[in-house]
Amino acid sequence: MQFSPARPRPASNFELYSWWFMRISALVMILLVGFHLFYMHVILGVDTIDFDVIAQRWQSPFWRLFDLFMLVFAWLHCTNGVRTVTDDYIRSQGWRTLAKTGLYILAFVIIVLGAYVIFTF
């Protein structure tokens, strides 16, 4: 009977934490986005949503934080997924580093711009 060689032990637990983050952030987003859709489309109604409704809603710190959490969880979940796909499909270390750097910069810029809009609206 032949045994396959043992897989090398990872140097850190980053991939394990990344895997857990994907599961937890997906559950959090299901709750956040589900509540968002229910509140905005069922309770308020699509016909009533306009600039004034959003401006009034964002007078409350709760709604600002709610939208910020939704933004951050969505983008970090997305970034982690694209990072995984990048690791799977880009073989060259240089191109992989360039792609991930661009991805991290894009995620950072989107989160900062979104937070800026949420808090300065």
Does the residue 59 lie in any domain? yes
Would residue 13 count as lying in a domain?
no
CA distance 106 to 54: 26
Residue 14 belongs to a domain: no
Query: Which uninterrupted H or E stretch holds 30?
Result: helix 14-37
Would 28 be classed as within a structural domain? yes
Q: What is the pLDDT of residues 64-116, one digit of tens each?
A: 999 999 999 999 999 999 999 999 999 999 999 999 999 999 999 999 999 99
If you search the block for the tokens 């045994």, which residue do you land on?
3
The secondary structure of 108-120 as a DSSP string is HHHHHHHHHHHHH
pLDDT reading at 6 higher than 70: no
Q: Which domain holds residue 36?
A: 19-120
Q: What is the spatial distance between Cα 111 and Cα 103, in angstroms, rounded to a whole number?
A: 12
* Rounded average pLDDT over 8-13: 78
Amino acid making up residue 51: F
Q: How confident is the model at residue 19 (pLDDT cuts 50, 70, 90)?
A: very high
In this prediction, residue 31 carries a pLDDT of: 96
Read off the pLDDT of residues 20-76 as tens digits, 9 standing for 90 and up.
Answer: 999 999 999 999 999 999 999 999 999 999 999 999 999 999 999 999 999 999 999
Provide the CATH number for the domain around residue 29: 1.20.1300.10
Number of domains in the chain: 1
Tell me, yes or no, whether 66 lies in a domain. yes
Residue 1 within a domain: no
- In eight-state DSSP terms, residue 3 is -
What distance lies between CA 35 and its chain's CA centroid? 17
Spatial separation of the C-alpha atoms in residues 10 and 84, rounded to whole Å: 16
**Using 50, 70 and 90 to split pLDDT, how confident is the model at 11?**
confident
Residue 3 belongs to a domain:
no
Q: Could you tell me if residue 100 is inside a domain? A: yes
| Residue 121 scores a pLDDT above 90 | no
Nearest Cα to 88, choosing from 100, 74, 73, 106? 100
